[in-house]
Amino acid sequence: MLHIAVRRISLVLALGLALGACGAPATPAAPAPADPPAPPASPTLPPLPTVEAVDGAGQTVRLAGPAQRIVSLAPSNTELLFAVGAGAQIVGRDEFSDYPEAAKALPAIATGMGKLNTEAVVALEPDLILAAEITPPDQVETLRGLGLTVFVVINPDDFEELYGNVLSLGTLTGRGTEAQGLADELRDRVTAVGQTLTSATTSPRVFYELDGTDPTKPWTSGPGTFLDLLIRAAGGTNVGAVLSSQFAQISSEELVRQDPQVILLGDTAYGTTIEGVSARAGWGSMTAIQQNAVYPFDDNLVSRPGPRMVDGLEQLARLIHPELFGQQSEY
What is the pTM assigned to this prediction? 0.82
Number of C-alpha atoms within 13 angstroms, CB side, residue 251? Answer: 3
Tell me whether residue 10 is in a domain.
Answer: no
Q: Assess whether 175 and 106 both reside in one domain.
A: yes
Residues of the domain holding 102:
51-192
Tell me whether residue 257 is in a domain.
Answer: yes
Q: Assess whether 171 and 210 both reside in one domain.
A: no
pLDDT computed for residue 326 by the predictor = 79
DSSP 194: H
Please report the DSSP string for 36-52 in residue order. Answer: PPPPPPPP-PPPPPPEE
Q: Residue 11: CB partners within 8 Å, gap ≥ 6?
A: none
pLDDT computed for residue 25 by the predictor = 47
pLDDT computed for residue 1 by the predictor = 41
pLDDT computed for residue 33 by the predictor = 57
Q: SS3 for 314?
A: helix
For 171-185, write each residue's pLDDT tens digit: 999 999 999 999 999
Angle at which helices 159-173 and 75-83 cross, to 10°: 70
HEC sequence for 123-139: HCCCCEEEEECCCCHHH
For 189-230, write each residue's pLDDT tens digit: 999 999 999 999 999 999 999 999 999 999 999 998 889 999
Q: Assess whether 58 and 180 both reside in one domain.
A: yes
pLDDT computed for residue 2 by the predictor = 36
Q: Assess whether 178 and 56 both reside in one domain.
A: yes
Q: Assess whether 56 and 175 both reside in one domain.
A: yes
Euclidean distance between CA atoms 115 and 112, whole angstroms: 5
Q: Assess whether 211 and 133 both reside in one domain.
A: no
What φ, ψ does residue 291 adopt, rounded to 5°? -100, 15
pLDDT computed for residue 20 by the predictor = 44
Alpha carbon of 322 to those of 79, 193, 196, 262, 318: distances in Å? 29, 13, 11, 11, 5
Beta partners for residue 255, in sequence order: none
pLDDT computed for residue 216 by the predictor = 95
Q: What does the radius of gyration of the chain's CA atoms come to, in whole angstroms?
A: 40
> Total structural domains in the chain?
2
Tell me whether residue 115 is in a domain.
Answer: yes
Euclidean distance between CA atoms 244 and 108, whole angstroms: 36
pLDDT computed for residue 179 by the predictor = 98
Domain's final residue, options 192, 214, 233: 192
Q: SS3 for 236?
A: coil
Residue 107: CATH number of its domain: 3.40.50.1980
By C-alpha distance, which of 304, 305, 325 is closest to 192?
325
Q: Assess whether 173 and 207 both reside in one domain.
A: no
Tell me whether residue 41 is in a domain.
Answer: no
Alpha carbon of 318 to those of 14, 36, 293, 299: distances in Å? 128, 80, 12, 16
Extract the residue ranges of the chain whose pLDDT is less than 70.
1-48, 110-114, 327-331
Q: Assess whether 66 and 97 both reside in one domain.
A: yes
